[in-house]
Structure formats: structure tokens, C-alpha cells
């Protein structure tokens, strides 16, 4: 009996996560971002907004804090389904651009992702200056604007080159829960990740 109950619970959990991954994404689409696409591994572009758009995604209210465009190399990809944040951002990408996107630099380091954070380390001396590592890589929480984009995100692998455009956002729920994007590439630690509502995504 205990084995049967365990199997039923497992089946229910798997069914819930499958449904969560396949359900339609409910989006009130904001205006398209005006920033140009950034070449892969180029310097990210950002335009802060004096009149931010407010829109809803999957029952959450999103405020567009800035337009954002980035081209980068994927270091790691992490999929989430059980935390609340997965209602909006089911995938985190650890991304590298500029000098950090050099495959020789990445090969000289080790990386990990967990609990919505990204960690890096190196042996002996860093392959590039420590501050360049911090300013040219980040963990980014990605909110897909369509089910097709969600599937594309789901297939991204380390080593891929991506080009992305969208809004850096603050997300709010009726119960007071909030999640806010970083607005600079210079910060580290808690709150330093970008929360991006994706409007355009190219993967190579």
C-alpha cells in the first residue's frame, strides 16, 4: 500500500510539472523594445524608462524598468519547476559576454547554478582580471513571452550563442510578493541577477 501511494504521489507530481510546462502563457504584450539587437558576445545595451509599461503575465503584474538587449555565450542553463518564480521564469541562463565569452577563458574556470544563483571559481590565478569576470557575466532569469519561446529556451545548451531583447522588469503579485531585476552589470550577490521579459530570442 505504501509503495502504491508513493507511486501515485510521484505520478501526480510529474503530471503537475508536465501541465505547468505545457499550459498556455497568458501575456498582455507591452510595446516592442526599440533597442537594436546586440551581436553575440558584444556589450549589452540598456535604456532606462521614464514611463515604464505595466502589463500582466500569468496573473502577475510586471513593470518594465528598462529596455535591454544582449548577445552572449551560454555558460550554464538551469530549469526550475517547483519554486514560485517558475510561474514566470522557468529557465535561468548563466551568460558571458565581452572577454568572458572567450572559450579559452571559460575553459580555465568551473561553474555551477543552484537556488537561482550562479557561481564560478578558478584555480591559482584568474584567466582575466577578477572584476572583468564579475562585469561580463551574470545569471539571468528569463520570462518567455510565448509558448514557442519557452520551448526554445528549454532547448538551450551550454556553449550556445544567444541574442535576446526585452524588458528588465519588476514582478508583483496580489499577496505582496515581488521580484525585481538588477539594473546594472556592476553588482554581485543577492539582487544582482537580471529578470528579463523576453520579446526576441535567437539561438546559435
Query: Which grid cell is 45?
Result: 545595451
d(CA 172, CA 170): 7
**pLDDT for position 1:** 58
What are φ and ψ of residue 26, in 5° steps? -95, 110
pLDDT in tens, the chain (204 residues): 555 444 444 444 444 344 344 445 788 899 999 999 998 878 999 999 999 999 999 999 999 999 999 999 999 999 999 999 999 999 999 999 999 999 999 999 999 999 999 999 999 899 999 999 999 999 999 999 999 999 999 999 999 999 999 999 999 999 999 999 999 999 999 999 999 999 999 999
pTM for the model stands at 0.88
- Give residue limits of the domains in the chain: 2-203
Amino acid at each position: 500500500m505504501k509503495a502504491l501511494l508513493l507511486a501515485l504521489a510521484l505520478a501526480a507530481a510529474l503530471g503537475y510539472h508536465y501541465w505547468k510546462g505545457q499550459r498556455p502563457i497568458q501575456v498582455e504584450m507591452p510595446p516592442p523594445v526599440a533597442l537594436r539587437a546586440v551581436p553575440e558576445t558584444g556589450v549589452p545595451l540598456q535604456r532606462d524608462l521614464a514611463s515604464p509599461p505595466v502589463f500582466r503575465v500569468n496573473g502577475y503584474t510586471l513593470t518594465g524598468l528598462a529596455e535591454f538587449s544582449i548577445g552572449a555565450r551560454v555558460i550554464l542553463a538551469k530549469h526550475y519547476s517547483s519554486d514560485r518564480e517558475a510561474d514566470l521564469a522557468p529557465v535561468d541562463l548563466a551568460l558571458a559576454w565581452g572577454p568572458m565569452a572567450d572559450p579559452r577563458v571559460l575553459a580555465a574556470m568551473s561553474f555551477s547554478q543552484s537556488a537561482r544563483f550562479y557561481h564560478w571559481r578558478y584555480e591559482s590565478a584568474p584567466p582575466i582580471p577578477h572584476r572583468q569576470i564579475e562585469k561580463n557575466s551574470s545569471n539571468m532569469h528569463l520570462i518567455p513571452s510565448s509558448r514557442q519561446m519557452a520551448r526554445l529556451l528549454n532547448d538551450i545548451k551550454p556553449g550556445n550563442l544567444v541574442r535576446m531583447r526585452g524588458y528588465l522588469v519588476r514582478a508583483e503579485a496580489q499577496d505582496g510578493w515581488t521580484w525585481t531585476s538588477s539594473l546594472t552589470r556592476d553588482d554581485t550577490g543577492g539582487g544582482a541577477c537580471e529578470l528579463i521579459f523576453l520579446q526576441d530570442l535567437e539561438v546559435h
